[in-house]
A and B are shown apart, each in its own frame.
Chain A
Amino acid sequence: MKTRTKLPVTGATLALLATVGAHAEDGYDAPGDWPSPMAKHHVGTAVFDRLEYVFPDKEEETLVWDFEAWYGGDISRFYLKSEGENVQGDGAGAEFEALDLRYGHLIADFWELQGGIGYQGNVGTNDHPERFYGVIGLQGTAPYLIETSLDLKVSENGDAWVQLEAEHDVRLTQRLYLQPRAELVASGNDLEEFHMGSGLNSLNAGLRLRYEITRKIAPYVGAYWVKSYGSTADMARAHGEPTENTGLVAGIRVLF
C-alpha cells in the first residue's frame, strides 16, 4: 500500500524524511503526490430486516422492528442495531429491546466477531424498565446457508443472558422466498422486571413468505409460535399472561 502524507509546512523536513522512508520501504517508485492506483473503499448500508405488524391470537397487536446499519471496510465495521416493539393500545410508548453500537471484525470467511454496548428501555417515554449492557456477538452464515447471530449480553448489574437467532431463505422463485426463522433467549438470573427467568426463557419459531419487488423492497406475510419456559413461564402465569402464543405478521423488508 502506498503511503501518502499531507505535510504541514512546519516540520516538513522530518515528515518528508518519514515519507521518503516509507516509499523506499514499500518499494514503489511513485512520487508521493501521485494518487494510489486503487482507491480504498468504505461502504455502508442499512436494512429493516423486519418491520412488521403482529396480530397475536392472545393479547394486543404490536408493531415490531429489527434494524441494522453498518459502515466500514471489508474486515472491520461499525454497527448500529436495534430491535424493539410498540404494543398497540396499551397506552405505553415504544420499547427498545436492544439498541446496540458495535464494532465487528471478520474472523473467518463467514464469521464476524462483534463487541459493543447497548441499551434496553424506552423510545422517548418512561414506560419500560431500562438497563445498559455490554455485548459480545458472533454473526455470520453457518453451513447450509443459515444466517446466524449469537449474542451474549451482560448488564451493568452483572446480569447475563444470551440470544440466538437463525434464519434461512428457501428460494421458491427468483423473487419469492420462504423464510423459516427461530429465536431463543436464555438467562443466567431471575429478572422479574424484564420478565426473564433463569434458564431457557423462550423459543420463537416463525415462517415468512417474502416477495422481492426489488432487491431493496420486499413485503412479506408470516406466522409464528412462541412459548416461554421454566421460571419465565411462571412469571408470565403470575402476571396473567399466556405462556404460549401464536400469531400472524405482515411486514416489509427494506434495504437502503
Chain B
Amino acid sequence: MTTKTTTGLSLSRRQLLQGGAALGFGAATLGLSPAWANPWGQSNTYPQGAVEGNDIALAIRRETLAINRRNTRPITINGTSPGPLIRLREGQDATLRVTNLLDEPTSIHWHGLILPPAVDGAPGISFAGIAPGETFTYRFPVMQNGTYWYHSHSGLQEQLGHAGPIVIDAAEREPFRFDREHVVMLTDWTFEEPATVFRNLKTAEGYYNFQERTITDFLADMRENGFRETARSRAMWARMRMSSRDIADVTGSTYTYLVNGQAPEQNWTALFKPGERLRLRFINGSAMTYFDVRIPGLKMTVVAADGQPVQPVPVDEFRIAVAETYDVIITPEAETAYTVFAESMDRSGFARATLAPRLGMEAEMPERRRISDRGMEAMGAHGGMDHSDMAGMDHSDMAGMDHSDMAGMDHSNMAGMDHSNMAGMDHSDMQDDTSPGASKGDLLPAGTAQPGSQYDQAGIGIDPDERRILVYRDLKAFRPWPDRREPEREMEIHLTGNMERYMWSFDGKKFSEVNGPIHFRKDERLRLVLVNDTMMEHPIHLHGMWMELENGAGELIPRKHTINVKPGERVSALITADAEGSWAFHCHLLYHMDAGMFRVVKVS
C-alpha cells in the first residue's frame, strides 16, 4: 500500500519548482494568498489553483513570508501557508509525495480521511515520520468525498501554518446543487514561536487572557443583582480558584485570525454572481480557536458536517470547533457585498472575509459581542465542587446563560447539572481505570443521547434567541450509514485537566503516564462515552474511523471525525472498529494535545 523512498535533496528539486510555481501563481492573483484562495473560487468549470491528479508533490519548508503584511517565518507547503488545496476524486488512487525541507522531522495527517494506518501520518504510531531531506510517499485509495483538511502531526508545527484544505469530489451526484464553491479556511496565526506560547501557558496561568473579570464587572453586577448575590457568586468562583472568563487559553492578544491566510484588514474576497447558489466549505484549521461564523443578511443552509452529507439545516450562525468542517449553501440574490464574520469563541478577535459580486466591495461589519462568563454548566464539570455550594448559588448574574434553562438544577434538560445522572462524576472510580471499557449490563439503544449531553445547546456566549444557531441536535445524516448494529460494549473516557499547571489528560493521566493503548476489538460495535470533567470545550478527534454522534437522530445518526464536548457534558459516539492497526485519539486543541491529552487506540 505504501512505499517509502528516501531521496537526496537534489531529487527534490522538482518539488521545489512546483512549490515555486504555486507561489508564483498565488502572487499573480492575490499577492501572497494561497492559489486556491482565488476569488472566483473552485468549481467544476473553474478547476484552478489547486494541486490535483494522481500524483501530487508537496514540499514542506520554513521560509519568510508576509502574514498580515508583516514578514514572519511560517512553514509553507509548496510555497504558501496555509498550503495548496489538495483536490482529489472519490474512487481514485491518490499518490502524495511529501518532501521535508525543514531541519526537523515532519509529517502530514489527512484529517478525516479513512485510509490504511501506514499512510495516516501520525509519527510514532503508524509511521516513523518524515526525516529532514526525505520524501515520503503516501499512497491510498480515496473512498469518500467532501471537505477535509491536512496538517502536520509533528510537535507544534501546525501552529506555524503547516496545514491546508482537502476537497474530494464525489463519484456520484451529491444531494445538493451549487453553481460555485469557495474554500473558507480559518486559522489562528501568532508571531510568537509555538514553543514560547506553550511555555507561557505552562508557566503563567491566564497569560493570554486580557478579558478577565475586574472590579468594574463586579460593580456592574452589583448594580444589577445587588451586593449579596454578586459577592456570593464571585466568592464561589474564587473559592474554586477558577476564572469564569476562562474560555480560550490562547487569544486574540497574540493571535491574528485568518481566512485563507488573510487577516481581517486584508479582507479576503470571494466573488459570486447574484442568484448563484454558492457552496462555502468552512474548515477550522486553527490550533486553538473555536469560531462562531455568520454572514449577516444571508441564511446559510448546512449540507455537510465533517465532510459527510447531512439533512439540510438553515441557520444564521454556527459554531465550528477546532478541526471540524461545515459545508453551507448560500444564495445571495442582491448585487451587494456580504461580510463573512467569524468571531473567536472568547470574543477576543475575529476573522473576516467578504462575498461580493466584484472585487473591492465591502459590507459593514457586525458589532462584536462581549465575552461571556461561564456559568453553572462549567461548575458542574468541576469534580471538586460540592453540592451545597451549587444549591446556594444564584444564577441571575450569569451573563450569556439562558435563564430559563437555568431555573432549576434538577431540570432534566440541564442534564449536565444533574450529578445523579453523571456516573462519571466520581473521580475515584474513573481515574484508576487505566483500560477504560468495562462493559455494562444495560446499554442504551443505538443513537440515544446520553443523559448529560447538551446537544440542543449552542454553548458559551451564544444567544439562541437572537438568531438560529446550529446545534449538534440538528445534525442528521443525509441517509443512514451502513452499520446499524447496536453497541456491544461501552467505553467511558473522561476529559481531565489541571488548569493551573496546564496539564491535560484523559482519565487523569497524561500520555506520558499511561501504559499502552486503548484497545478496540476488531469489527466490534463500540459506544465511546466522553465525559468532560474540565471547564473548557474539547474537540475530540479519532483517527482512522468515524464516530457516529449519538444525538438522538435515530437511524439518521450523523458521523463525525471530531466531536466537540462542552464543559460538564457527557456525549457518546458509536464506532465500527473495522480499521485494524494503531491510531491517534486526542483533543485537537494543539497545546492540550501536546500537554498530554492524547492516547493511542489499537484495533486488533
Closest B residue by C-beta to A39: B155
User: Using a CB-CB cutoff of 8 Å, which residues 501-560 of chain B contact chain A?
Assistant: 501-503, 510-517, 519
* B584 and A26 contact, CB distance less than 8 A: no
User: Using a CB-CB cutoff of 8 Å, which residues 33-68 of chain A contact chain B?
Assistant: 33-41, 43-45
* A27 and B517 contact, CB distance less than 8 A: yes
Return chain A residues, CB-CB under 8 Å to B199.
43, 45
How far does the Cβ of B62 sit from chain A's closest Cβ, in whole Å? 18
With A30-B125, A171-B215 already in contact, the answer to whether A38 and B512 are too (CB < 8 A) is yes
For the complex, give the distance between the alpha carbons of A27 and B516 in Å.
5
* B511 and A143 contact, CB distance less than 8 A: no
With A34-B123, A40-B512, A141-B241 already in contact, the answer to whether A109 and B384 are too (CB < 8 A) is yes
- Please report the total number of B residues contacting A with Cβ < 8 Å: 52
User: Using a CB-CB cutoff of 8 Å, which residues 129-164 of chain A contact chain B?
Assistant: 141, 143-145
Q: How many A-B pairs with Cβ below 8 Å? A: 111
Return chain A residues, CB-CB under 8 Å to B503.
74
Return chain B residues, CB-CB under 8 Å to A25.
515-516
* B498 and A174 contact, CB distance less than 8 A: no
For the complex, give the distance between the alpha carbons of A170 and B216 in Å.
11
User: Using a CB-CB cutoff of 8 Å, which residues 180-219 of chain B contact chain A?
Assistant: 198-200, 202-204, 207, 210-216
For the complex, give the distance between the alpha carbons of A58 and B199 in Å.
43
Return chain B residues, CB-CB under 8 Å to A144.
235, 238-239, 241
With A30-B125, A143-B241 already in contact, the answer to whether A109 and B514 are too (CB < 8 A) is no
Closest A residue by C-beta to B515: A26
Is B240's CB within 8 Å of the partner chain A? yes
With A110-B500, A171-B212, A171-B214 already in contact, the answer to whether A37 and B240 are too (CB < 8 A) is no
How far does the Cβ of B308 sit from chain A's closest Cβ, in whole Å? 27
Return chain B residues, CB-CB under 8 Å to A171.
212-215
Return the contact of A28 from the options B204, B214, B517 (Cβ within 8 A).
Answer: B517
Return the contact of B594 from the options A28, A31, A41, A255 (Cβ within 8 A).
Answer: A41
Is A215's CB within 8 Å of the partner chain B? yes
Is A193's CB within 8 Å of the partner chain B? no
How far does the Cβ of A177 sit from chain B's closest Cβ, in whole Å? 10
Return the contact of A1 from the options B213, B502, B513, B594 (Cβ within 8 A).
Answer: B513
For the complex, give the distance between the alpha carbons of A35 and B211 in Å.
39
* B211 and A174 contact, CB distance less than 8 A: yes
* A255 and B582 contact, CB distance less than 8 A: no
For the complex, give the distance between the alpha carbons of A172 and B219 in Å.
11
* A30 and B582 contact, CB distance less than 8 A: yes
Return chain B residues, CB-CB under 8 Å to A44.
203
A interface, how many residues as a size bin? Answer: 35 or more
* B500 and A35 contact, CB distance less than 8 A: no
* A145 and B129 contact, CB distance less than 8 A: no
Question: Which of B202, B514, B584 has the most chain A CB atoms inside 10 A of its CB?
Answer: B202
Closest B residue by C-beta to A112: B501
Return the contact of A174 from the options B212, B240, B241 (Cβ within 8 A).
Answer: B212
With A74-B501, A143-B241, A215-B207 already in contact, the answer to whether A34 and B128 are too (CB < 8 A) is yes
Return the contact of B214 from the options A1, A27, A33, A174 (Cβ within 8 A).
Answer: A174
Is A106's CB within 8 Å of the partner chain B? yes
* B238 and A143 contact, CB distance less than 8 A: yes
Closest A residue by C-beta to B200: A215
How far does the Cβ of A174 sit from chain B's closest Cβ, in whole Å? 5
How far does the Cβ of A227 sit from chain B's closest Cβ, in whole Å? 28
Is B305's CB within 8 Å of the partner chain A? no
For the complex, give the distance between the alpha carbons of A104 and B584 in Å.
33
With A28-B600, A109-B500 already in contact, the answer to whether A35 and B123 are too (CB < 8 A) is yes
Closest A residue by C-beta to B199: A43
Is B449's CB within 8 Å of the partner chain A? no
Is A90's CB within 8 Å of the partner chain B? no
Is B598's CB within 8 Å of the partner chain A? yes
For the complex, give the distance between the alpha carbons of A17 and B400 in Å.
59
* B514 and A1 contact, CB distance less than 8 A: yes
Return chain B residues, CB-CB under 8 Å to A2.
124
With A109-B500, A173-B214 already in contact, the answer to whether A34 and B124 are too (CB < 8 A) is yes
How far does the Cβ of B214 sit from chain A's closest Cβ, in whole Å? 5
Return the contact of A33 from the options B128, B198, B513, B602 (Cβ within 8 A).
Answer: B128
* B207 and A74 contact, CB distance less than 8 A: no
Return chain B residues, CB-CB under 8 Å to A174.
210-212, 214
Question: Which of B122, B200, B516 has the most chain A CB atoms inside 10 A of its CB?
Answer: B516
Question: Which of A31, A34, A35, A37 has the most chain B CB atoms inside 10 A of its CB?
Answer: A37
* B513 and A106 contact, CB distance less than 8 A: no
Of the A-B pairs whose beta carbons lie under 8 Å apart in the complex, a sample of 7, sorted by A's number, is A28-B582, A29-B582, A38-B512, A41-B198, A41-B595, A45-B199, A106-B501
Chain A residues with CB under 8 Å of chain B are 1-2, 25-31, 33-41, 43-45, 74, 106, 109-110, 141, 143-145, 170-175, 215, 255
Chain B residues with CB under 8 Å of chain A are 105, 122-125, 127-129, 155, 198-200, 202-204, 207, 210-216, 235, 238-241, 384, 498, 500-503, 510-517, 519, 582, 584, 593-596, 598, 600, 602
Q: A27-B515, A109-B498, A143-B241 are in contact. List 20 more A-B contacts (CB 8 A).
A: A26-B515, A27-B516, A31-B128, A34-B123, A34-B127, A35-B129, A38-B593, A41-B202, A41-B595, A45-B199, A45-B204, A106-B501, A141-B500, A143-B240, A144-B239, A145-B241, A170-B215, A171-B212, A171-B214, A175-B210
